[in-house]
Amino acid sequence: MKIALLGYGKMGKAIEEIAEKRGHKIVLKVEEDIENYDLDNSKIDIAIDFSVPKAAFKNITTCFKQGIPVVSGTTGWLDHYEKAKKVCEENNTAFIYASNFSLGVNVFFELNQKLANMMKGLEDYSVEIEEIHHVQKLDAPSGTAITLAEQIIEKNPRVNGWQLDDAEKDEIPVYAKRVEDVPGTHTVTYDSEIDKIEIVHTAKSRQGFALGAVVAAEYLKDKTGIFTMKDVLADLFQN
Ligand SMILES: NC(=O)c1ccc[n+]([C@@H]2O[C@H](COP(=O)([O-])OP(=O)(O)OC[C@H]3O[C@@H](n4cnc5c(N)ncnc54)[C@H](O)[C@@H]3O)[C@@H](O)[C@H]2O)c1
Ligand SMILES: O=C(O)C1=N[C@H](C(=O)O)CCC1
């Protein structure tokens, strides 16, 4: 595949390495306002966006308007997600957004949903989420922590929302810690007077995120519509 990288920071570089190992070619690297680049859809099969929250929506929708499908992992811009989907559909192209492309985290998401379902009737337990990331991270809490919180809210009718730090009784407190070079650690804790249940995912590097994004791009190429990592994993496990 001929890939355009939207964002060439830590993730852009990790994706380049894995994409080239899998036989793909990086044909464009967008590092500033996307209007300064030539987005010729005859030279680009797919764009992979790991940029910054304030640029993501424009990056993604500019590609859609050129008929270029997009895999996006940028976090912190999701207020505009529904609008981005609309632009994708209007231009008859394809889109996958995931707060976390790591295959391990997507297994962790499944586990989180199952655990939330089991815990919903156990009123003695409170639930909280902690995420730890490197100090350069621009957004808090992480997109992954928000996905974990939304999954719990969907399963448990006693939980009505989430808050960074100080939460009401019916909300999930989400704690965001910033520690030097940590690639990403997420913990969901259920606590009672009697005991504590914790599930933890610890990324050891950015390789998992990058591999997942390239696998998602391979899945999305030549498709039309809006997809999620659930579709990618279902396809992967079927083959
Ligand atoms: N979904 C996932 O699996 C996953 C995994 C890791 C990181 N992320 C997210 O991906 C994003 C990037 O992470 P990172 O660690 O590579 O950050 P980074 O800061 O290392 O890289 C971001 C890059 O975007 C560039 N940039 C600035 N303005 C731009 C613009 N207008 N267009 C394109 N690029 C522009 C910056 O120069 C920088 O090089 C963050 O939002 C992060 O939360 C998601
Ligand atoms: O390094 C980051 O930034 C990460 N961002 C994603 C998030 O916000 O959840 C995924 C983990 C790494």
Instruction: Render pLDDT for 117-149 as a digit per residue (tens, 0 to 9).
Output: 999 999 999 999 999 999 999 999 999 999 999
Q: Are 34 and 64 in contact (CB under 8 A)?
A: no
pLDDT at 216 over 90: yes
Atom of ligand 1 nearest to the CA of 100: 3
DSSP reduced 3-state for 205: coil
Average pLDDT, integer, range 113-118 = 98
List the structure tokens of 11. 């993730």
Three-class secondary structure of residue 227 per DSSP: strand
Domains along the chain with CATH numbers? 2-101+207-238 (3.40.50.720), 103-202 (3.30.360.10)
Using most ligand atoms within 8 A of CB, pick from 106, 109, 130, 133 the residue to mutate for ligand 2.
Answer: 133
User: Taking 80 as the threshold, does the pLDDT of residue 239 lie above it?
Assistant: no
Question: What pLDDT was estimated at residue 236?
Answer: 87
pLDDT at position 130 is 98
Centre a 10 Å sphere on the Cβ of residue 238 and count the other Cβ atoms it contains: 6
d(CA 77, CA 113): 24
Q: Using 50, 70 and 90 to split pLDDT, how confident is the model at 47?
A: very high
Residue closest via CA to ligand 2's atom 11 equals 184
ipTM: 0.99
Q: Over 80: is that where the pLDDT of 201 sits?
A: yes
Q: How confident is the model at residue 237 (pLDDT cuts 50, 70, 90)?
A: confident
Give the strand pairing for 171-178 and 161-164.
parallel
* pLDDT for the residue 95: 98
**Are the C-beta atoms of residues 217 and 230 closer than 8 Å to each other?**
no
Concerning whether 133 is annotated as a catalytic residue, the answer is yes
Residue showing tokens 């998992």: 208
Taking the CA of 184 as reference, the closest ligand is: 2
pLDDT in tens, 179-198: 999 999 999 999 999 999 99
DSSP three-state, residue 3: strand
Residue nearest atom 2 in ligand 1 by C-alpha distance: 100
What's the CA gap between 185 and 204, in Å, rounded?
Answer: 9
Identify the residues whose C-beta falls under 6 Å from ligand 2. Answer: 75, 99-100, 133, 137, 142-144, 184
Rounded to an integer, what distance in angstroms lies between the CA atom of residue 230 and that of residue 182? 26
> Hey, what are 130's tokens?
């902690």
Please check the confidence at residue 57 and state whether its pLDDT lies above 80.
Answer: yes
pLDDT band at 238 (very low <50, low <70, confident <90, very high): confident
Catalytic: 13?
A: no
Looking at residue 133, what is its pLDDT?
A: 98
Nearest-CA residue for ligand 2 atom 4 is: 184
Ligand nearest to the CA of 182: 2
Q: ω into residue 141 within 30 of 0, thus cis?
A: yes
Percentage of the chain exceeding pLDDT 90:
97
Sort strands 70-72 and 126-133 into parallel, antiparallel or unpaired: unpaired
Is the overall model pTM greater than 0.90, yes or no?
Answer: yes
Mean of all residue pLDDT scores within the chain: 97
Helix (H) or strand (E) holding 59: helix 53-65
Radius of gyration of the chain from its Cα atoms, rounded to whole angstroms = 18
Give, as one character, the DSSP assignment of residue 34. G
Whether 99 is in the pocket of ligand 1, judged by its Cβ within 6 Å, is: yes
